[in-house]
Structure 1
Amino acid sequence: MKKKLRIGILFGGRSGEHEVSLNSAASILAAIDKVKYDIVPIGITKQGHWVTSGEAQHLLTGNTKLTLLKKSRSKGIEISASADLGQQSGALAQSLDVIFPVLHGTFGEDGTIQGLFELADIAYVGSGVLGSATGMDKTAMKQLFAAAGLPQAPHVNLLRSEWKADAKRAVKLIEKKLSYPVFVKPANLGSSVGISKVHDRSELAAAMDLAASFDRKLIIEQGVGGPGIKPRELEVAVLGNDLPEASVVGEIVPNKEFYDYESKYADSPENPSVPIIPARLSKSEAKMIREMAVAAFRACDCAGLARVDFLMEPAPLGGKGKKKRKPRIYLNEINTMPGFTSISMYPKLWEASGMPYKQLVDRLIALAIERNKEKQQTSFSRV
């Protein structure tokens, strides 16, 4: 009888997207094939303590009493906040065949946990250290996009220390290079946490302070379309390793001025954000966006999965006797561990492309194993 693969589903974490991770993990645990796989739930509390088995299930349902737990043992796994890294990575490697890190944001999607998996030499779902780190850091990401010749909206990078040391100089720099409205973002965070749309100078300082509370690196982006214009928000799901594929293009019509955290995750029956899958685009527009999504995936050296987001100007009106100009499309960002909740776009886009949720989970596990096997072809010693 063929041995069942033992899959660790890792969720929670210390980031501001802890609750999103719990929802994503719950969806995966409900859908994953229990006949095909042995499932080991592994939770990380907001304080960074690791828990497994029953304790992890309690964390998944929001049991806050687990915040005092420092250590848990389950079938050879021993993980604690202060434990020796080498011992823990060895235990993980011996106990699990694949880890599915359903972690969003800091300490989960930024290359840190991926480094642990690399040391443990264990197969894991998603991008490696480099892909995860560049996918999280918007400044590094945009530099790679620029090197690949991908179109982006104008933007300014600043450090928190620069903003605190001389706010007036920072404002002058922003207003010299960009025009309102602008979006102020922490460079290393996801799910639109800490992001503000700034309509004029009076709103800028508060937005900068908010972003600076979440990261030392800040990015200020030109609003696409100009004052009073709401760009179309388009998304593509990418799947694969060395030969990535793109899903159909989807569109989100947010219930607010832009697609912020509440628009993504808070249910609003009276005024919901509306997903349109597939997006209403011409064949040439959809083809170009899908090709750009794959190019962005490769530019950041991603693997497994990613969701690539775009901003598209509304179709401009042509003047009398003038040829109508095509709307501009800008690459916004890449997300290397997109949400897997029941309302998340990534699984919805693949479902619309012919791959249902359960099959998508299987495919991601297979890609993790494929990538780990490919890694075994690399020599790390001269002997």
Structure 2
Amino acid sequence: MKTKIAVLYGGKSAEHKVSMQTALSVINALDQEKFEIHPVYITDSGTWVRGEEITGQVNDVKRLELAPEKNEVGALTLTEQEGKSEAVDVVFPLLHGPNGEDGTVQGMLELLNIPYVGNGVLASAAGMDKVIMKAIFAQAGLAQVNYVHFVRRDWERDRKVAYDKVEQELSYPCFVKPANLGSSVGISKCRNREELEQAFIEAYKFDRKVIVERGVTAREIEVAVLGNDDPKCSVIGEIVPKKDFYDYKAKYEDGDTALIIPAEISADVVKTVNDMATQAFKALDCSGLVRADFFLTKDGTVLINEVNTMPGFTPFSMFPLLWKHAGLEYPALIEELVKLALERYDEKQQITYTF
């Protein structure tokens, strides 16, 4: 019997388009001899739309933009309704950013008692909020760059105080980021006060909380982590952006970035990165998958930058590429994630909720 899988994509987020591309890749890679594929599109305004079963290749991402007036609407279409056997066996949430990658959708799926791929509520929420994530990393003793953060109200109350604090504690260059967003949306590199002021304005378009990190001269290296309670690490890759930094256009539009897999680093650095990635995975109580990003300085110091609890998942994204070089091809990687999701779900069913 085929596993009935709902591929959840789109979302009310600035990363809506990235999610669409990810969904297209995953849908086309799923083995239709093993999986019954049901697309579930979340519009950019937040409406849930469940489409008909997909029984072939999808050649254009626009085919995944399901119209609410022509399809079933609502999150409850994932469950069994009025005796109809429409319930799915597992959900693959390919959502990036707020309202999807931040624990909100994961919480809803928990309440509906539906297995789902990837991280749970806690890990998703903590991994989305860079300030919370870094606080957990600090508690775990993981080395990272210095940072400060601000909420919009404090910044609006006295902007000069915020800018002075950045200059006193971090200096230039520094990076200003929305605390709860990925794909490098809203990020700016600042070299002076004027750029800093504009960067705050840009970042607050996307979040009520902003984090500012000290700039560091270092190589950018990444590792993919896969598993539940016994996670394993892939080979390590290096990102070499040809621009000033690895921004949204470099990631998704220009293709102007070199990915070196495996990275040319020593065995000692490999061990350090793997140990830190595993430690970060466990500190956040992650499950399924994570991409962990690091800085490697000239003196060999490894600093953790962040983890991404639902990394880009096209065949050309770093997470699948790292596993491909480790011997796990894209379709097999997807199947392994579904297997991990069902294993975690089965374990949760052992919990007693009455006393």
Does the 8 Å contact 2:220/2:295 carry over to 1? yes
State the 1:267 CA deviation. 3.5
Residues 114-147 of structure 1 deviation map (CA, whole Å, 9 limit, x = unaligned): 0110001111000000000001000100010001
SS of the equivalent of 2:71 reads strand
Q: Distance in 2 between matches of 1:378 and 1:337?
A: 26
CA RMSD across the alignment:
2.1
State the 1:52 CA deviation. 2.1
Q: Which amino acid letter does the alignment assign opposite residue 13 of structure 2?
A: S
State the 1:169 CA deviation. 0.8
Counterpart residue number, 2:293: 309
State the 1:329 CA deviation. 1.6
Q: Quick check: 1:151 aligned with 2:149?
A: no
Q: Distance in 1 between matches of 2:65 and 2:277?
A: 42
Counterpart residue number, 1:253: 240
State the 1:176 CA deviation. 1.5
State the 1:347 CA deviation. 0.1
Q: 1:265 aligned to 219, 229, 252, which one? A: 252
SS of the equivalent of 1:124 reads coil
Q: Which runs of 5 or more structure 1 residues have no equivalent in the other structure?
A: 81-86, 226-230, 316-325
Counterpart residue number, 2:14: 16
State the 1:61 CA deviation. 2.5
In structure 2, relative to structure 1, the CA distance for the partners of 1:249 and 1:112 (3 Å cut) is same
Does the 8 Å contact 1:184/1:221 carry over to 2? yes
Residues 270-301 of structure 1 deviation map (CA, whole Å, 9 limit, x = unaligned): xx200000001000111110111111111111
Does the 8 Å contact 1:49/1:70 carry over to 2? no
Q: 1:98 aligned to 68, 76, 90, which one? A: 90
Q: Which amino acid letter does the alignment assign opposite residue 162 of structure 1?
A: D
Q: 1:29 aligned to 27, 37, 40, which one? A: 27
Q: Distance in 1 between matches of 2:64 and 2:38?
A: 20
Q: Distance in 2 between matches of 1:359 and 1:126?
A: 16
In structure 2, relative to structure 1, the CA distance for the partners of 1:252 and 1:65 (3 Å cut) is closer
In structure 2, relative to structure 1, the CA distance for the partners of 1:63 and 1:5 (3 Å cut) is closer
* TM-score (ref. length: structure 2): 0.94
Q: Distance in 1 between matches of 2:210 and 2:59?
A: 32
State the 1:359 CA deviation. 0.5
Q: Distance in 2 between matches of 1:256 and 1:90?
A: 46
Does the 8 Å contact 1:157/1:218 carry over to 2? yes
Q: Which amino acid letter does the alignment assign opposite residue 24 of structure 1?
A: T
In structure 2, relative to structure 1, the CA distance for the partners of 1:372 and 1:14 (3 Å cut) is same
Q: Which moved more, 1:47-56 or 1:361-370?
A: 47-56
Does the 8 Å contact 1:89/1:116 carry over to 2? no
SS of the equivalent of 1:343 reads coil
Task: Kindly tell me the number of residue pairs found equivalent between the two proteins.
Answer: 350
Does the 8 Å contact 1:22/1:60 carry over to 2? no
Identity of aligned residues (%): 49
State the 1:70 CA deviation. 6.0
Q: 1:50 aligned to 31, 48, 51, which one? A: 48
SS of the equivalent of 1:175 reads helix
SS of the equivalent of 1:15 reads coil
State the 1:168 CA deviation. 0.6
Q: Distance in 1 between matches of 2:165 and 2:116?
A: 42
State the 1:88 CA deviation. 5.3
Q: Distance in 1 between matches of 2:315 and 2:128?
A: 23
Q: 2:260 aligned to 267, 270, 276, which one? A: 276
State the 1:59 CA deviation. 12
State the 1:112 CA deviation. 0.3
Q: 1:345 aligned to 315, 318, 323, which one? A: 318
State the 1:58 CA deviation. 9.4
SS of the equivalent of 2:160 reads helix
Larger Rg: 1
SS of the equivalent of 1:296 reads helix
Counterpart residue number, 2:223: 236
In structure 2, relative to structure 1, the CA distance for the partners of 1:273 and 1:145 (3 Å cut) is same
Q: Distance in 2 between matches of 1:200 and 1:286?
A: 35
Does the 8 Å contact 1:9/1:100 carry over to 2? yes
Counterpart residue number, 1:323: none
